Amino acid sequence: MTTQECRVGALVSGGLDSAVMLNELARTCGEVFPIYVRCGLPWEAEEQECLRRFLRRLADSRIHSPRALDYPMGDVYQDQWYATGKGIPGYSEPDESWEIPGRNLILLTKAAVWGALHGVSSLALGILASNPFSDATPQFFSSLEAALSAALGSCVTVIRPFADLHKSDVVRLGAGLPLELTLSCARPVGGLHCGTCGKCRERIEAFEAAGVDDPTEYVSSKGGQKSGGF
């Protein structure tokens, strides 16, 4: 893809990875449609607010206003931590604890149908090299592209611009952006990062590894100690 040659739907969460991806897609593709899929997860309202703030600050005319699509999963997820907000994996728990079954399948299926109705055949996700889950492999995306293309009667392409990057690489790539307005937390407190969940740990460690000052406000830091100002 070269600049100004494509329209792409970007699956976004309001988090660091997808926010930086939006900026990169605008720069390289030209016209970007942010898509937020609501499944009924407890952090969604605060994620969407952070996404709106980030886009207002970015003020890039190549990025359209975000489109929210509903795909309620409460009847399926029921009492799981990602549905109830109870028992959210802690600061030191392994990445595997964070699996939300079918997450990328859900996001891409809903977005692909929307794209087919709006002339957007390319979809992008901010998947990183460190993602350990079965719905983040090249084989999965290749198979899903084929299935979606067959189902919708037109070619669907899944773009993964960060597939070879780690979170620290994304931090460096987006160092000039208002990353303090992004949200990478499973139990945000008044729009702030809790500082005690595994997602906050990933964020903290990524800024440290990147050698970039972390502008994020955490209610607690390093897994439990109160940060300055709180």
Residuewise pLDDT in 10s, the chain (230 residues): 444 458 999 999 999 999 999 999 999 988 999 999 999 999 999 999 999 999 999 999 999 999 999 999 999 999 999 999 999 999 999 888 999 999 999 999 999 999 999 999 999 999 999 888 999 999 999 999 999 999 999 999 999 999 999 999 999 999 999 999 999 999 999 889 999 999 999 999 999 999 999 999 999 876 554 443 32
Output the pLDDT for position 131.
87
Looking at the DSSP bridge assignments, the partners of residue 7 are 31
Burial class for 130, CB neighbours closer than 10 Å (0-12, 13-18, 19+): exposed
Output the pLDDT for position 5.
54
Output the pLDDT for position 1.
41
Output the pLDDT for position 163.
96
**Can you tell me the distance from the alpha carbon of 147 to that of 143, in angstroms, rounded to the nearest whole number?**
6
Output the pLDDT for position 229.
32
Q: Is 158 helix (H, G, I), strand (E, B) or coil?
A: strand
DSSP 87-134: S--BTTS-GGGG--TTHHHHHHHHHHHHHHHHT--EEE----TT--SG
- Residue 115 sits at φ, ψ, to 5 deg, of -60, -40
Output the pLDDT for position 176.
93
At which residue do the structure tokens 């949200």 appear? 183
User: H or E segment at 51?
Assistant: helix 44-58
Among the CATH numbers 2.40.37.20, 3.40.50.620, 3.40.605.10, 1.20.1260.10, which is that of 6-87+101-178?
3.40.50.620
